[in-house]
Amino acid sequence: MKGSYIIVIFLPINKIIEIGALGELSFPSGFYYYIGSAMGNTSTSLEYRLKRHVSESENKKIHWHIDYLLKDQECYIERIYIIPSQQRLECFLVGEILEASDSSITNFGSSDCECKSHLLYFEEYRSFM
């Protein structure tokens, strides 16, 4: 399956977390909505990508910005929205949700596009579906 996804992550405390090349970033407590996509087949499919993100394996290779956040022991996945599609919708979804967010983490997850960020911050949980 191909498509996009939104991973809702809850961080119960304020925390500074090292995010690869972005360095140490300050994360206030609250909800973080990470928006991504997987447009390939087999190992690059939507199912595989999401299984990888939810895996807590000690052997998981840290590859994306989101990997650094998800490996933090204080962070946990609250919900995952799956949007099956033949089109890459992550930038569209970011644009639609960004205005409703309280802020975003600049350059997080958006090194391959023109978006400001693919990680949006909300003080309180919000449902968009």
Does 32 map to a domain? yes
Q: Is the dihedral of CA 57, 60, 66, 71 positive or negative?
A: positive
Task: Flag whether 129 is in a domain.
Answer: no
State which residues form the domain around 105.
3-122
Q: Decide if 127 is inside a domain.
A: no
Q: Is the pTM of this model over 0.85?
A: yes
> Taking residues 80-84, what's their average pLDDT?
96
Per-residue pLDDT at 9 exceeds 80 = yes
In a domain, 56, yes or no: yes
pLDDT at site 59:
80
Q: How many domains does the chain have?
A: 1
Query: Among 24, 82, 89, which Cα is nearest to 54's?
Result: 82
**109 lies in a domain?**
yes
pLDDT at res. 93: 96
- 40-49 confidence digits (pLDDT tens): 998 889 999 9
Share the mean pLDDT of the chain. 94
Two tokens at 120? 């949006």
The DSSP code sequence of 63-107 is -SHHHHHHTSTT-EEEEEEEEE-SS--HHHHHHHHHTTSSEE-TT
